[in-house]
Amino acid sequence: MKKENQVKKHKNTDKGRIFVKVMAGILAILMIGGTAISLIYALMAN
């Protein structure tokens, strides 16, 4: 019983870490993309 619980907990933490990394990557891409688009728009406006 204890070993099964430990295995399940470990899998959940791995999935959680992967999810956090994926979400951080998506947010970073959105931030970089938004900055680039706003810079291009500002340069085009001039």
pLDDT tens for the chain, 46 residues: list them.
555 555 566 666 788 899 999 999 999 999 999 999 999 999 998 6
Residue holding tokens 């959680």? 16
Residue 15: per-residue pLDDT: 86
pTM (predicted TM-score) = 0.59
Residue 16: per-residue pLDDT: 86
39: Cβ–Cβ under 8 A, 6 or more apart, which residues? none
> Token pair of 45, please?
């406006």
Q: How far apart are CA 24 and CA 39, in angstroms?
A: 22
